[in-house]
């Protein structure tokens, strides 16, 4: 399937089966609206399809400033509450921070966490644990450790509950 909306450009990073046998797909949409320094900006994107891939609805999650973008990297749906969990990254100016979004089953944003940098810089995967909580993995960009003028990256884990409250990192 191909999905088009105006001249916007989409890229998908993760797909999961939804609780109703359809699919939930996340990634980003790059709009034609100029943002930071005249460049297009990206909004996190959620697409809901039926079992045959036919689009049912979609949602875009914009930041408040045009120079702030975000991308969904991994998506899952809680089998009990039907809440949708998207982890990823967001840019705030020139700084990259992790992003956790908790949505209801219709894609309405309930909770968004991570803009303060306390959850690392990029979250790229998430799983549900046997205790009902979630574990996301990603990267912490280590600004104090520089090799040949480049910052280094460290592995990062964060455990959180269905409401996005951090248990440990």
- Burial classification of residue 147, based on how many CB atoms lie within 10 Å of its CB (0-12 exposed, 13-18 middle, 19 or more buried): exposed
pLDDT for residue 65:
59
pLDDT for residue 101:
94
Lowest mean pLDDT among 49-58, 107-116, 154-163: 107-116
Does position 67 have pLDDT exceeding 60, yes or no? Answer: no
This prediction's pTM: 0.86
pLDDT for residue 107:
96
pLDDT for residue 145:
61
pLDDT for residue 90:
83
Per-residue pLDDT tens over the stretch 117-158: 556 678 999 999 999 999 999 887 766 666 677 766 778 899
8-state DSSP, 121: S
Does position 58 have pLDDT exceeding 90, yes or no? Answer: yes
Q: What is the mean pLDDT of residues 95-121?
A: 82
Nearest to 75 by CA among 117, 8, 134: 134
Q: What is the mean pLDDT of residues 75-95?
A: 89
pLDDT for residue 160:
94
- Burial classification of residue 137, based on how many CB atoms lie within 10 Å of its CB (0-12 exposed, 13-18 middle, 19 or more buried): middle
8-state DSSP, 13: E
Does position 86 have pLDDT exceeding 70, yes or no? Answer: yes
Q: What is the mean pLDDT of residues 54-78?
A: 84
Per-residue pLDDT tens over the stretch 10-51: 889 999 999 999 999 999 887 666 555 555 567 889 999 999
pLDDT for residue 98:
85
């Amino acid at each position: 399937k191909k999905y088009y909306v105006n001249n916007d450009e989409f890229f998908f990073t993760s797909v999961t089966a939804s609780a109703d046998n359809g699919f939930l797909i996340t990634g980003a949409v790059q709009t034609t609206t100029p943002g930071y320094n005249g460049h297009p900006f990206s909004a996190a994107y959620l697409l809901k399809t039926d079992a045959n891939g036919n689009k049912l609805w979609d949602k875009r999650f914009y930041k408040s400033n045009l120079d702030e973008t975000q991308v969904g990297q991994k998506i899952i749906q809680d089998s009990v509450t039907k809440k949708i969990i998207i982890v990823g990254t967001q840019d705030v100016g020139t700084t990259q921070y992790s992003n956790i979004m908790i949505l209801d089953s219709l894609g309405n944003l309930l909770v968004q966490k991570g803009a303060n940098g306390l959850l690392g810089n990029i979250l790229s995967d998430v799983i549900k644990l046997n205790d009902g909580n979630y574990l996301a993995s990603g990267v912490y960009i280590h600004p104090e450790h520089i090799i040949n003028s480049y910052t280094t990256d460290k592995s990062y884990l964060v455990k959180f509950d269905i409401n996005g409250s951090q248990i440990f990192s």
